[in-house]
Chain A
Amino acid sequence: GAGVSQSPSNKVTEKGKDVELRCDPISGHTALYWYRQRLGQGLEFLIYFQGNSAPDKSGLPSDRFSAERTGESVSTLTIQRTQQEDSAVYLCASSPFGQEFYGYTFGSGTRLTVV
């Protein structure tokens, strides 16, 4: 596609439920990143994929968070047993391999609200 696509754009879920967030990167972009942005805050790194491999999972806040990627395309971020502190905007970005030097292309994000 022309840009990075994320779905859903908004998600309201009850505390304790599981949620799946989807990211469709730009075709040909092998690097994919997930970030979390709490209200009024900067970006918090979660996980990085190179192809379908995740060499850096250092940012995942707890074992309730997991992510996978199919080949060099779609990625899914799963949050199990959601908590209110998980409420945030989850942003996905992609770039060509080794091109973070030049910048990322971000999606519009998924706004997650846990009630």
Chain B
Amino acid sequence: TQLLEQSPQFLSIQEGENLTVYCNSSSVFSSLQWYRQEPGEGPVLLVTVVTGGEVKKLKRLTFQFGDARKDSSLHITAAQPGDTGLYLCAGVGLFSGGGADGLTFGKGTHLIIQP
């Protein structure tokens, strides 16, 4: 069973601050995805990282895939109230055949940005 540990579980910061959330595993993944979920909505895909060491930027969000493809981080610069939500990481196993092995989700980081 592949597990993804996300930290911190909860984070509340002031508008304008920077933050980093982490997604760690002992397993290697062929790709890793980050989703954001707002209250009353389903998760929305933000980014997929594929190559070890890869860095992707989405406006003020920077995503990094670890060199060994076991971990990832999400860094937000100058956080805004609109960034509030549940951030989920999800990994695709090396031998994915769909189903339960297709995508492993972490439990998420609840992020609150206070004005």
Distance between Cα atoms of A115 and B104 in the complex (Å): 31
Q: How many residues of B contact A (CB 8 A)?
A: 27
Residues of chain A within 8 A of B106, CB atoms compared:
42
Residue of A nearest to B42 (CB): A106
Contact A42 B98 (CB under 8 A): no
| B-binding segment of A11-19, A74-82, A96-104 | A96-104
Contact B92 A100 (CB under 8 A): yes
**Does B66 have its Cβ within 8 Å of any Cβ on chain A?**
no
Shortest distance from the beta carbon of A46 to any chain B beta carbon, whole Å: 9
**Does A108 have its Cβ within 8 Å of any Cβ on chain B?**
yes
Residue of A nearest to B104 (CB): A45
Contact B48 A103 (CB under 8 A): yes
Most chain-A CB neighbours within 10 Å: which of B33, B88, B97, B103? B103
Q: Is the interface of A mostly helix, strand, loop or mixed?
A: mixed
**Does A87 have its Cβ within 8 Å of any Cβ on chain B?**
no
**Does B30 have its Cβ within 8 Å of any Cβ on chain A?**
yes
CB<8 Å pairs between A and B, sample of 19 = A31-B102, A42-B106, A42-B108, A43-B105, A48-B99, A48-B100, A50-B98, A93-B42, A98-B98, A102-B31, A103-B33, A103-B48, A104-B103, A105-B45, A106-B42, A106-B44, A109-B41, A109-B42, A111-B40
Which residues from chain A sit less than 8 Å from chain B, CB to CB? Answer: 4, 31, 33, 35, 40-43, 45, 48, 50, 55-56, 58-59, 91, 93, 98, 100-109, 111
Which residues from chain B sit less than 8 Å from chain A, CB to CB? Answer: 30-31, 33, 35, 40-45, 48, 50, 88, 92, 96-103, 105-108, 110
